[in-house]
Amino acid sequence: MLTGLRVRNFKSWKDSGDIRLAPITLLFGTNSSGKTSLIQLLLLLKQTAESSDRRRVLDLGDANSLVELGTFKDLIHNHQDTDTLSFEITWPGERTDLFECAGDCNGVLPKE
């Protein structure tokens, strides 16, 4: 179970800040505030983890996927494809992993 999330440069989020996830988490906000983007990120992570193509850093999906996000430029904040997409996930045991993806997502940099 995920207990925390932070995303930078994903869709409407420049930086989400630390988001605590609990067994029951509700997302509140005005229209176009980024609620759906957070759910899309979780679906993106799920379909990437389940992808049979291990060469893909992120599985951005197609018509048959959980979520179809288009290209890297479509999902990066303000469509600035020179920016770096990063997300941090936390789960029980205090382990945290940070992943970063720049350009066309051909590389993943683990947190140092």
Residues 6+ apart with CB under 8 A from 35: 27, 28, 29
**What's the pLDDT score for residue 112?**
44
Q: What is the pLDDT of residues 69-99, one digit of tens each?
A: 999 999 999 999 889 999 998 888 765 666 6
**What's the pLDDT score for residue 62?**
92
Residues 6+ apart with CB under 8 A from 70: 60
CB crowding 23-48: b at 16 or more within 10 Å, else e: eeeeeeeeeeebeebbebbbbbbebb
User: Could you tell me which residue, 107 or 61, shows the higher pLDDT?
Assistant: 61
Contact 44, 69 (CB under 8 A): yes
As given in the structure block, the two tokens for residue 3 are: 């207990």
As given in the structure block, the two tokens for residue 37 are: 């983007």
| Cα(60)–Cα(47) distance, integer angstroms | 8
